[in-house]
């Protein structure tokens, strides 16, 4: 598995903003909630909870997420410029991308319904549109965000949002490139998403808090971001980093 670097797209940033801006009222139902109606593990076929796939063999360990190694798969990490905290991982394969983020969730409440609504509002505020579809991983969103092509013409950037509610965690994926709309192109990255293992941990966290990601154990030290790079406005994510594994 190789590590690389690419500029982050507006569509990828949308989900992070939507998740962090979601209503804080759900915090009252955080891990202290010990109700019997706990959210069950995802359906067979993944993504998986650590209890279902505890072995690290064949996986790249990123802390809260474990990614199955695959031929040609490139992994990129995103950090907040101020804190240098890793906040997302993006996987590139065969010309398409998949951004992953994992969040804490209540024991007895799902998050995907609310987060879909937040994504729709965020995309709409940018002049884009969202279609709700039934897809491989249940209810999905197909977002079209206005974008300018290299030749200056106006067009749209398309992103496909998927979400999985697990036991005390929520995993969000954003497919970009051909995988956003072409089922054949999406197949390889869907298989990667299906094999993701979420490591929730036992630490009490408010719902929608990002689960902690980190560099692989054998990765090189983080390079500093270019001083000349523009700083994104909150709650957008910071610049990506490059490391060789």
Determine how many CB atoms are found less than 10 A away from the CB of residue 91.
21
For residues 209 and 150, give the distance between their C-alpha atoms in angstroms, rounded to a whole number. Answer: 36
Average pLDDT over residues 191-207: 96
Check residue 45 and give its pLDDT.
82
88 and 100 Cβ atoms separated by less than 8 Å: yes
Determine how many CB atoms are found less than 10 A away from the CB of residue 189.
24
pLDDT of 18 strictly over 70: no
Check residue 171 and give its pLDDT.
98
Structure tokens at 12: 């990828």
SS3 16: helix
pLDDT of 68 strictly over 80: yes
Mention every residue, 6+ apart, whose C-beta is less than 8 A from residue 59: 66, 67, 68, 69, 197
Average pLDDT over residues 168-192: 97
What H or E segment, with its residue span, contains residue 192? helix 183-194
Hunting for tokens 């609310």 — which residue is that?
114
Query: Range with the lowest mean pLDDT among 28-37, 105-114, 155-164, 233-242?
Result: 233-242
Average pLDDT over residues 19-26: 38
Q: What is the pTM of this model?
A: 0.75
Residue 26's pLDDT band, with cuts at 50, 70 and 90, is very low
213 and 16 Cβ atoms separated by less than 8 Å: no
Mention every residue, 6+ apart, whose C-beta is less than 8 A from residue 119: 14, 15, 18, 130, 141, 143, 161
What H or E segment, with its residue span, contains residue 19? helix 10-20
Check residue 219 and give its pLDDT.
57
Torsion angle, CA of 90/83/110/98, rounded to 10 degrees?
A: -10
Tell me the residue ranges of DSSP E strands in 80-137. 86-93, 96-104, 129-135
Mention every residue, 6+ apart, whose C-beta is less than 8 A from residue 149: 155
Average pLDDT over residues 136-152: 93
144 and 128 Cβ atoms separated by less than 8 Å: yes
């Amino acid at each position: 598995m190789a590590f690389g670097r690419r500029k982050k797209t507006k569509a990828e940033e949308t989900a992070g903003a939507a998740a962090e801006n979601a209503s804080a009222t759900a915090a009252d139902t955080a891990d202290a909630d010990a109700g019997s109606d706990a959210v069950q593990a995802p359906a067979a076929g993944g993504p998986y909870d650590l209890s279902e796939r505890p072995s690290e063999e064949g996986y790249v360990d990123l802390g809260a997420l474990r990614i199955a190694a695959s031929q040609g798969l490139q992994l990129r990490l995103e950090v907040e410029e101020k804190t240098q905290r890793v906040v997302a991982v993006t996987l590139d394969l065969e010309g398409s991308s998949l951004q992953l983020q994992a969040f804490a969730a209540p024991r007895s409440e799902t998050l995907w319904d609310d987060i879909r609504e937040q994504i729709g509002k965020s995309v709409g505020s940018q002049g884009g549109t969202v279609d709700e579809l039934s897809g491989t991983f249940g209810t999905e969103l197909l977002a079209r965000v206005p974008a300018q092509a290299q030749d200056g013409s106006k067009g749209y950037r398309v992103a496909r949002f998927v979400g999985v509610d697990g036991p005390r965690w929520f995993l969000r994926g954003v497919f970009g490139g051909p995988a956003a709309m072409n089922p054949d192109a999406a197949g390889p990255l869907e298989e990667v998403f299906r094999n993701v293992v979420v490591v929730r941990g036992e630490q009490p966290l408010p719902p929608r808090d990002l689960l902690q990601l980190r560099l692989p154990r054998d990765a090189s030290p983080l390079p500093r971001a270019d001083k000349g790079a523009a700083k994104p406005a909150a709650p957008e994510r910071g610049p990506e980093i490059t490391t060789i594994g």
